[in-house]
Structure 1
Amino acid sequence: MPSKDPDEMLRAPRKAGVTHGDFDLISIGDLLYSHPMADNANPEFQKVLAIVRSGDVTIGNQEGVFMDLKTFKGEAYGPGQLWGEATLAKDMRAMGVDMVSVANNHSFDWGPEGLLETRRLLDAAGMVHSGGGASLEQARRAGILTTPKARVALVSVASSFKPNATANDPMGEVPARPGISTLRTRKIILITPAQMAMVRKLATELASTLAPAPPADSTEVTLGDQIYRLSDKSGLHYDMDLYDHAALLKAVRDGKDAADLLVFTIHAHESPTGFDDDTPAPPDFLIKLFHDVVDAGADVVMGGGPHSLRGIEIYKGQPIFYGMGVFFIKGEIKALQETAFQVFPDATGKAPPPEPPEQSVRRGGNPASWYDGMVASTEFRDGKPVLIRLYPLDVGNTYDRTRRGNPHLADPENARRILAMLQRESALLGTKIEIEGTTGVIRLGMIHKE
């Protein structure tokens, strides 16, 4: 039986990081794109790639999967499938990306066949990856890249994922199932005593043999599929599955034992207000999880999922990026017939008149915050991070399709605006960001947070 005690994985001291000489790790956001970009000659885009290529290792999240649809043997799943050309693995390598996570809410848009084909193409391009596999053991296992200055391990997981996306190991006569490494969570609505009295009353009125009335002094009530828990103030809390939590910490420990540095990534759309891409504050479970993975051995933590940036915390000397945002946001969505042909009658009982074509990838337009990004450069010395440089990105919030969704270095005005937001959100996490021109700087030697 696997452990369901996360604390078991935290009893031994963490293994310190090791680097041979100065080492620069570049972190970027979601690679959410569908067609090759490395050869794009735009000089502003090439300035961004120069930073991506400037480090010893560059890590990002490969959002979705890619394959040649003419030869693909699998099927599409869900209301909309993010898709990319089969050449994207080579394209990412050409841009300077060395390691990617493949665990996210689009990993199973094309079923197990799409995920496994993406992994095959990544292997063929020499790209190290983690977060997906033919079994859960393979999906949780760290991907490891050997460089002249350090062996770098990558452990990746998603807490936001499609049904049946979780990889499984063999169990009894049941064979292994391909999928991704997932962290199961359950959302708890925290309510005040007065609110709990109303929930108990409603649950009592709706009680049945299969759903009996809650006790009069109950502090937790399940109503339908939702759990309500008594608290001194209302809000949202997320419980982490104990098996998944413990297994992730074990993966971090095992990965760090096999490497010099370890990076942990998660794709998590959850927020303090629900499933929301536009909330700068992290949900409570991420704070607990990120502190735990650092205690288990992670040297850098990269949060992703929200297409918006979040603050940065320095915990026990190690950087935690709660939200890296996007690097590209120009993915191509392929629709199934069941979603392409779906119209309900309006108030007249007839089909509503056709709407003008959308200029955005989302009805009504994407939030502006989705087009603020960053590249983070973490400099290590003797295995310890000593300096972080933040390069704000303008990811093209325009209807011009040749520019929209492509990262450029932000102009001075936008750079100051993005950095001011990161300053504000990071200060809430105890981190000071200095602004030097159009670049943010965090000096870790000045921070001693336990």
Structure 2
Amino acid sequence: MTKFSRRFALALLGSTAACGPVLAQAKLSNEPQDYLKAPARPSSIKGPFSLVAIGDLLNSRPTADNPDPQYQKALAIVRGGDVAIGNREGVILDLPSFKGQPYGPGQMYGEASLAGDMKAMGVDMVSMANNHSTDWGWEGLIEAGRLLDGVGIVHAGSGMTLADARKAGIMATPKGKVALVSAASTFKVNAGANDAFAEGVPARPGISVLRLRKVNLVNAEQMAAVRALASERASPLAPAPKPDARDVSFGDQIYRLVPGSGPRIAYEMELYDQAALLRAVREAKAAADLVVFTIHAHESPTGLDDDTPAPPDFLLTLFHQCVDAGADVILGGGPHALRGIEIYKGKPVLYGMGLFMLKAQIKAAQETAFRMWPDIDGGPPKPKPGAAASDGGTPPRWLEGVIAVVDYDARGREKQIRLYPIDLTGGGERALRGLPRLAQGQTATRILEQLQTDSASFGTQIRILDGMGLIQIR
């Protein structure tokens, strides 16, 4: 917990007797290390087995029946595994009959028919925790879950309560049970689910969140400037920092002195959330044979989204701890661009899966329109009908990805990771832009060579064989 969290909790305990019993009844530790003391139970999946991992599904309309040969080859890989997992970016719903409302800037939209379309693609399990999960409020999130349930796609990361959202989604296969634990560290205001707390305070639907404390790392000269400005604008509620303060809070930002540091960002995890995720992994392993953990995290070491292949510091800590708690595969996501791959204690850790598909339509509520187009000459222009997120201005790194297949041997032990590069540029054909097509020739080589470079810092070696990447685990 942060200092603020502790003060807030103490204030609650002191101000209302009703909260005391609620907190006491929970009996949940907020210390992450409490869930790392005992060795993790090993995977018990029956081999041979293959787990297919894909990135963000950012599409608004069905595409599974598109006849393009390279697209169908990509889907054949997804369908060819025992279980395929991806991130459903945003929710799916039937907008004409929808009874909820839009919230926040920009609403990622997916037709209700996408549930069946994802099933036709070969997708078996999806994370529902991301920064677009509540674009259509909790009603949209619930409706998306209902549609996924209707076609048999297992989902995780959302629920009617926080306990539900933390809980793993579990899929039974002939070779064992696969559990998916999902969360998001990047999310909209009030997206987090709540349990019923005190007398008369009900639960709230939402997603499983990991709250972060952002810390700006600065050098001595920069800290002197921050201290001076904070002192100049001090008040009884925000006292001036001490002359030798190494941490200064100012303007809703935290600055920390790190001698010789350039502009960098560090993130501190809220201990309650961190511990809860590790507990969820432990509980998932007790109920399943193979556990996958995913998180949607747009954070980066520079504070700018998608600008660097390096993952933020907290992900390294969290991912290692999740493996120590029992996770067998880690899938990072959020930035829509690939990040490196690590093999930690024999377990695959993919720091950034990038995009699998980019054919999304974003609706604009009135508040979005007014924010993007100020009220000039009578009002804001209307967004172009049918505008898609893949129409122009897309960072090049968003249009390159991989399908990762983790293979387990006959004894159910991790054997290798196959990496199939995908190209979302459409090969110059607008109708195919945003679809995952198997990359060819120099494009495939460039994607895999960049992934080699980004994975080298983790000590991971990727061989390139006939346009496919291969990581040998055992």
Alpha-carbon spacing, 1:259–1:246, altered in 2? closer, same or farther (3 Å): same
Q: Report the Cα distance in structure 2 between the residues aligned to 1:138 and 1:11, rounded to whole angstroms.
A: 25
Give yes or no for the alignment of 1:416 onto 2:445: yes
SS where residue 333 of structure 1 aligns? strand
Verify the 8 A CA contact 1:155 1:265 in the aligned structure 2.
Answer: yes
Q: Report the Cα distance in structure 2 between the residues aligned to 1:124 and 1:225, rounded to whole angstroms.
A: 44
Alpha-carbon spacing, 1:197–1:393, altered in 2? closer, same or farther (3 Å): same
Q: Which letter maps to 1:340?
A: A
5+ residue gaps, structure 1: 446-450
Alpha-carbon spacing, 1:397–1:278, altered in 2? closer, same or farther (3 Å): farther
Give yes or no for the alignment of 1:138 onto 2:164: yes
Verify the 8 A CA contact 1:83 1:332 in the aligned structure 2.
Answer: yes
Deviation at 1:218, TM superposition (A): 1.1
* Residues 363-385 of structure 1: CA deviation (Å, up to 9, x unaligned): 96011110001100000122321
Partner of 2:15: none
Q: Which letter maps to 1:228?
A: Y
Give yes or no for the alignment of 1:334 onto 2:360: no
Alpha-carbon spacing, 1:356–1:19, altered in 2? closer, same or farther (3 Å): closer
Give yes or no for the alignment of 1:127 onto 2:153: yes
Partner of 1:36: 62
1:24-173 paired onto structure 2 within 5 Å:
24-172=50-198, 173=200
Q: Tell me the matched-pair count.
A: 443
SS where residue 97 of structure 2 aligns? coil
Alpha-carbon spacing, 1:205–1:398, altered in 2? closer, same or farther (3 Å): farther
Partner of 1:210: 237
- Among 407, 422, 429, the alignment partner of 2:458 is 429
TM-score scaled by structure 2? 0.90
- Among 311, 325, 348, the alignment partner of 2:340 is 311
Alpha-carbon spacing, 1:404–1:179, altered in 2? closer, same or farther (3 Å): same
TM-score scaled by structure 1? 0.94
Q: Which letter maps to 2:160?
A: A
- Among 406, 413, 418, the alignment partner of 1:384 is 413
Q: Report the Cα distance in structure 2 between the residues aligned to 1:351 and 1:57, rounded to whole angstroms.
A: 49
Alpha-carbon spacing, 1:353–1:143, altered in 2? closer, same or farther (3 Å): closer
Partner of 1:225: 252
Sequence identity percentage: 58
Verify the 8 A CA contact 2:361 2:387 in the aligned structure 1.
Answer: no
Q: Report the Cα distance in structure 2 between the residues aligned to 1:369 and 1:13, rounded to whole angstroms.
A: 38
5+ residue gaps, structure 2: 1-22
Verify the 8 A CA contact 1:278 1:369 in the aligned structure 2.
Answer: no
Deviation at 1:103, TM superposition (A): 0.4
SS where residue 430 of structure 2 aligns? coil
- Among 143, 166, 174, the alignment partner of 2:201 is 174
Deviation at 1:337, TM superposition (A): 2.4
SS where residue 274 of structure 1 aligns? coil
Deviation at 1:355, TM superposition (A): 12
Q: Report the Cα distance in structure 1 between the residues aligned to 2:143 and 2:425, rounded to whole angstroms.
A: 30
Q: Report the Cα distance in structure 2 between the residues aligned to 1:360 and 1:56, rounded to whole angstroms.
A: 32
Q: Report the Cα distance in structure 2 between the residues aligned to 1:337 and 1:131, rounded to whole angstroms.
A: 29
Q: Report the Cα distance in structure 1 between the residues aligned to 2:381 and 2:106, rounded to whole angstroms.
A: 23
Verify the 8 A CA contact 2:358 2:389 in the aligned structure 1.
Answer: no
Q: Which letter maps to 2:288?
A: A
Deviation at 1:398, TM superposition (A): 6.6
Verify the 8 A CA contact 1:371 1:397 in the aligned structure 2.
Answer: no
Alpha-carbon spacing, 1:23–1:199, altered in 2? closer, same or farther (3 Å): same
SS where residue 61 of structure 1 aligns? strand
Alpha-carbon spacing, 1:407–1:255, altered in 2? closer, same or farther (3 Å): same
Partner of 2:275: 246
Deviation at 1:430, TM superposition (A): 1.2
SS where residue 76 of structure 1 aligns? coil
* Residues 204-239 of structure 1: CA deviation (Å, up to 9, x unaligned): 111112111111121100011000012132311001
Deviation at 1:66, TM superposition (A): 0.7
